[in-house]
Amino acid sequence: FILSRRGESASRTSSVVEPVQDARDKEQAAEKAAPIGSASLSKAMMGAISVLIFGSTALIYVMLGDPTIESKPLASRTDERQQEQQQNQIKQAGLAEALSAAQDEAKANPQSVEAHLTLALAYARLDDFDNEIASLRTAQTLSNDSPSIKAMVAEALSRQAGGQIILPARALIEEVLDESPNEPRALFMAGLASYQDEFYQQAIAYWMKLADVAPASSPWPALARQNITFAAEAGGLPLP
């Protein structure tokens, strides 16, 4: 199992492609799609809380002055912006309420692994990485170093780093796969680490194993198959 890095600049994935890029970056982004597995969140906790899933977009399309987009009156655009702001306010209020409830539950049940995982998820939804990781670490301790929760910590560390599978995350992934070779999240992230290092065949191998061992009803097989396609295209390899 190899998770050594070629360096911070070796990554082929990013959490969000910046809207302002130089021409070379745009050309490279258009040539290769990044695999699903970065920092934009599509989350649900594993087990009682479902599964935290990496998700990313390969490109951001900035449509300024696009002649194919129908022009809208200023009043209409203003109304839309106001509606979006109201929706965002409602969403943030709901997330804050969920966080408060999770904090109360964790305080009332400090020895509950599930309570701390729920709290970690509430922090994750607010992009509060430090507190998310702290809550996951607490759950990890309470669970006697559960491999699945260690994999969650590795994922949170990577999302905090903008989708980069950084060295502390890689060390955790390696530990998890030594203890539990079929742990889905660790296999998924090992594939991402290999992809970021441009070891495309190795990435495919991890994701093929993930597709084989993960429950068919979980999101992992579909994500793995999609990323296998990305890795084969990026490496000029035949689809397995």
Q: What is the pTM of this model?
A: 0.69
Query: Which of 239, 231, 240, 219 is closest to 194 using CA atoms?
Result: 231
Residue in the block written with tokens 């966080």: 99
| 80 or 6, greater pLDDT | 80
Q: Where do runs of H (alpha helix) occur along 69-128? A: 74-108, 113-125
In angstroms, the CA 204 to CA 197 distance is 13
pLDDT of residue 74: 55
In angstroms, the CA 75 to CA 85 distance is 15
Answer for the pair 218, 184: CB distance below 8 angstroms, yes or no: yes
Question: What pLDDT, in 10s, does the model give residues 16-74?
Answer: 222 223 333 434 443 444 566 643 323 333 332 233 333 332 221 222 333 333 444 55
pLDDT confidence bin for 185, thresholds 50/70/90 = very high
pLDDT of residue 201: 97
Residue type, 172: L
Tokens standing for 11?
């990554």
Q: Which residues of 186-224 are buried (b: 16+ CB within 10 A; e: fewer)?
A: bbbbbbbbbbbbebbebbbbbbbbbbeebeeeebbbebb
Task: Using the predicted structure, report yes or no on whether residue 130 has a pLDDT greater than 60.
Answer: yes
| 20 or 207, greater pLDDT | 207
- Give the residue-averaged pLDDT of 84-108: 86
Mean pLDDT is lowest, of 80-84, 125-129, 133-137, 189-193, for 80-84
Mean pLDDT is lowest, of 71-80, 144-153, 173-182, for 71-80
pLDDT of residue 115: 94
Q: How many CB atoms lie within 10 A of CB 36?
A: 23
pLDDT of residue 63: 26
